Structure 1
Amino acid sequence: MQVSSFAPEPYILILTGAGLLIALVAWLPLALKRLPLSLPIVCIGIGAAIFSLPAVTLRPLPLDYPEITERFTEFVVIIALMGAGLKLDRPFSWRKWSVTWRLLAITMPIGILAITALGGWMLGLSWIAALLLAASLAPTDPVLASDVQVGPPKTGEEDEVRFGLTSEAGLNDGFAFPFVHLAIALGLAATTGEPWAGKWLLHNVLWEIGAGLIGGWLIGRLFGWLTFHVPADTKLAKTGDGLIAIAATFVSYGVTELIHCYGFLAVFVTALTLRRSHRDHEFNRQMHDITEQVERLAMMVLLLLFGGALVSGLLRPLHLVDVAAALAILLIIRPIGGLIALAGFEARFSEKMTLAFFGIRGVGSFYYLAYGLNHMELTVGERLWAIVGLVALFSILLHGLTVTPVMRLLDRSQGRDPDADEEAPPPSQKRPASA
């Protein structure tokens, strides 16, 4: 009688691992809610442990898989942008969004200029490489910033700090893209000698931003009408199928990219417009919830791979000066740029400092760097990945360890009990008031 040796099929191992990952997606946020520890930190640790095993031979370094890196990070970001737009309760207006405009118009340009100068003078990079590094690291990440963003629709968790960080993360991805294209245009001009300024300004700035805004608004209006305003028999809001938000994400991004404009910007505008179609409808919560679940699952997979990249040598090309620069970007450039932008803004200093400090860097930076390196030739690609990876790692650790105590302290200073939602019984369990 022949006894087969125990050799599990890769499919079975993948299925088991996927089940464990999904269980962690559901359980870990609850377990970590009150601890000074974030979900991304745990995911990176798990990924580092998995890829350190002798049996695991895959080295998930981004330069070894450039196309996959660009597309996967792109997918995670657009899902996060849809979720961010859906959960904003505040109606769009120039005055009510003043904190957003300050962070976009002042903080981000300061960050791009300062990081470019840092890269050129301190790190010894070419000015083109320094500009690409700056464009990658200037925007606040919409994926890893969930702990400092507003809560789900209609939960009341929308103070000025959470609103500012959510809206900034939603919009600055689109407005950082012209600077990535500027680095690409300068790189091509350096080799071909072709003029670049006119094409960059007319196409990459005016057309791609303008068409992204208009395209996102039109698609949001279309999906808003299909979801809330078509005849009752086929009204999507009655089905309770929140997957319509994922459909809106893909259509918005796909259509606007087909006409060569900024899909990131379009997705966020689509989300805002879709939410505006019926701001108080309960279906907004269902759309947000399915989007958040998809985002969290994709984010965990990506961070597992990031942990694997760290133990596979991602940071090996770093110089000592790069470590100092990474700390300066997080602890000096972003906070100072944020405080400059918020000068004269009506808020307490603790709120301004929180807005300035929590400029989280992560998945968006990975995407921009992957996109830039895939569209231009740079000999310092490994070092740029090491710097961006280090900044993201420092940000995940620094902001992840401080976000819970800082946000709980901020809530208490504003007269809110951060534990009130956990202690209060759900509405269905509350006794009706006696007549």
Structure 2
Amino acid sequence: MTALLLGAVVLLAYSALSGPLSRRGVTSAMAFVLAGVVLGAASGGSLGIALDSAAAEQITELALVFLLFTDAARLDLGVLRRSLGWPGRLLLIGLPLTLLLGLGAGMLLFPDLPLASVFLLSAMLCATDAALGQRVVEDPAVPGPVRQALNVESGLNDGIAVPFFLVSLDISLATLEGNVGSAVAGAITEQIGWGLVAGVVMGGAGGYLLRAARARDWFLSGWHQLFTLAVALGAFSAAGTLGGSVFIAAFVAGMAFRWSSGAGNVETTRFTAEAGSVLAAGTWMIFGSVAVLIALPHITWQVIVYAVLSLTVVRMLPVATAMIGSGARWPTLAFMGWFGPRGLASVVFGLLAFERETPYATTLLTTVVVTVGLSVFAHGLTVMPFVAAYQRWFEAHPGNPRPNPGREPDLPAR
């Protein structure tokens, strides 16, 4: 109860001061991580939260599940198809290249780690999170094509990264058991297959029921939001019961819900997104109060170098490669490459890998913690000055790509 009380106090304090803090460049992630570190250190790590506890796992999983579902449910596939130029490059070229470059960097810096563990590390850190640089995708000072590309990328790449994470996690665990091929193949089939089934069934059925109930005016005021939350929870629990990936189920359920209900506006999923945000705040508190304190004694120069490379070269070089032929100039490439922060998805993946006692789990968790911790503060603190500098450059060069006059895909900026 102590941890819950302290978390509620921190949430109240940040909510009340969110406006002034935001205007000074302090993001919610920065505030909750700092609060977690201070409270965890002050209590000597006795807040009653264990990193491998069921409660910590449920909070972190549900946070990502709700946000994945919301991202997918708000995605207008028709609009996305008409404006998939730059986002498509980042997702289809940049993301795989980031995964491969992260693998190469890990092999050089961690030669004692098995290839499977290095691949797992790269998979955990390949997805971006726009919440750590939310102003970038919300501020109209940032040109439309850039905002749209980063917004769509961050909204979709954590869902795309899930299969990579699951495959690498299963490979890493299978190395301890022998018969690697059949173990991995079976696990992948089960995780992805049942995840797809749970997502399609729960999302499709929920969306159809929502459409039918609305058409007959059966809903009482206020129950729309709880209905949508129940669909996301249903996909989560169904996938868990069947043995599938709850993350794949959530993402697929969101798309199926959008398609079958026709309700893709932000209001339909507002409560689900807010529930995800509250749980995300709890995840950042756990990250600061438990994960950071566990990782501190294990930080090495290799961990620090990998974290820096992950946020710079491993991210920026694939972005520049993916954008070849797009007409974007080098300041745009540098801006888009830098604002690929690592956030909630990486934290959840790292905690799950640690909880499942993967080989070299402490080294992997430490590297994820350092990378995400650096990203929280480096990207949060550079948003305002970098946006201002980029805007000045953009306006001084009229030959740059102009905003797309069409409607941008409706994705949430977390």
Bucket of the pairwise TM-score, normalised by the shorter protein: 0.7 to 0.9
Kindly provide the amino acid, as one letter, of the partner of residue 74 in structure 1: E
Of the candidates 187, 190, 206, which is equivalent to residue 223 of structure 1? 206
The residue that corresponds to 1:100 in the other structure is: 87
Question: Offset at 1:28?
Answer: 3.8
Distance of 2:339 and 2:242 partners within structure 1: 34
Of the candidates 117, 122, 132, which is equivalent to residue 109 of structure 2? 122
SS of the counterpart of 2:179? coil
Which residues of structure 2 form unaligned runs of 5+?
396-401, 404-414
Of the candidates 357, 362, 367, which is equivalent to residue 382 of structure 1? 362
Distance of 1:150 and 1:235 partners within structure 2: 36
Question: What are the within-5 Å matches in structure 2 for residues 246-261 of structure 1?
Answer: 246-261=229-244
Distance of 1:288 and 1:150 partners within structure 2: 19
Distance of 1:144 and 1:237 partners within structure 2: 37
Matched, 1:175 2:160: yes
Kindly provide the amino acid, as one letter, of the partner of residue 149 in structure 2: G
Of the candidates 43, 54, 64, which is equivalent to residue 32 of structure 2? 43
CA distance change for structure 1 residues 80 and 159 in 2, over 3 Å: closer, same or farther?
A: farther
Question: Offset at 1:385?
Answer: 1.3
Question: Offset at 1:352?
Answer: 3.9
Distance of 2:79 and 2:253 partners within structure 1: 13
Question: Offset at 1:188?
Answer: 4.9
Distance of 1:14 and 1:112 partners within structure 2: 36
SS of the counterpart of 1:343? coil
TM-score between the two structures when normalised by the length of structure 2: 0.79
Matched, 1:204 2:188: yes
Of the candidates 286, 291, 294, which is equivalent to residue 305 of structure 1? 286
Distance of 1:166 and 1:261 partners within structure 2: 28
More helix by share: 2
Q: Give yes or no for contact 1:140–1:359 (8 Å, CA) kept in 2.
A: yes
Kindly provide the amino acid, as one letter, of the partner of residue 317 in structure 1: H
- More displaced 10-residue stretch of structure 1: 28-37 or 109-118: 28-37
SS of the counterpart of 1:312? helix
- More displaced 10-residue stretch of structure 1: 248-257 or 81-90: 81-90
SS of the counterpart of 1:109? helix
Question: What are the within-5 Å matches in structure 2 for residues 134-153 of structure 1?
Answer: 134-141=122-129, 144=132, 146-149=134-137
CA distance change for structure 1 residues 396 and 325 in 2, over 3 Å: closer, same or farther?
A: same
CA distance change for structure 1 residues 270 and 369 in 2, over 3 Å: closer, same or farther?
A: same
Question: Offset at 1:240?
Answer: 6.0
Q: Give yes or no for contact 1:140–1:361 (8 Å, CA) kept in 2.
A: yes
- More displaced 10-residue stretch of structure 1: 183-192 or 27-36: 183-192
Question: Offset at 1:290?
Answer: 1.7
Kindly provide the amino acid, as one letter, of the partner of residue 371 in structure 2: V
Q: Give yes or no for contact 2:105–2:306 (8 Å, CA) kept in 1.
A: yes
Greater radius of gyration (CA): 1
Question: What are the within-5 Å matches in structure 2 for residues 294-373 of structure 1?
Answer: 294-309=275-290, 312-345=293-326, 347=328, 349-373=330-354
Question: Offset at 1:317?
Answer: 0.6
CA distance change for structure 1 residues 43 and 193 in 2, over 3 Å: closer, same or farther?
A: closer
- More displaced 10-residue stretch of structure 1: 37-46 or 388-397: 37-46
Question: Offset at 1:40?
Answer: 0.9
Q: Give yes or no for contact 2:60–2:348 (8 Å, CA) kept in 1.
A: yes
1:180-239 deviations in Å (ceiling 9; x for gaps) = 34334444554444151x77468627x755765575455434333333343645444864
Question: Offset at 1:349?
Answer: 4.9
User: How many residue pairs end up in the alignment?
Assistant: 394
Distance of 2:253 and 2:9 partners within structure 1: 33
Question: Offset at 1:80?
Answer: 1.6
The residue that corresponds to 1:20 in the other structure is: 9
The residue that corresponds to 1:7 in the other structure is: none
- More displaced 10-residue stretch of structure 1: 32-41 or 320-329: 32-41
Question: Offset at 1:350?
Answer: 4.5
Identity, in percent, stands at 23
Question: What are the within-5 Å matches in structure 2 for residues 253-292 of structure 1?
Answer: 253-275=236-258, 284-292=265-273
Q: Give yes or no for contact 1:106–1:337 (8 Å, CA) kept in 2.
A: yes
Distance of 1:18 and 1:122 partners within structure 2: 37
Distance of 1:56 and 1:186 partners within structure 2: 33
Question: Offset at 1:411?
Answer: 6.8
Question: Offset at 1:336?
Answer: 0.9
Matched, 1:131 2:131: no
Kindly provide the amino acid, as one letter, of the partner of residue 32 in structure 2: C
Kindly provide the amino acid, as one letter, of the partner of residue 139 in structure 1: A
Q: Give yes or no for contact 2:354–2:365 (8 Å, CA) kept in 1.
A: no
1:42-90 deviations in Å (ceiling 9; x for gaps) = 111222222232586337563xx25444332211111122333344467
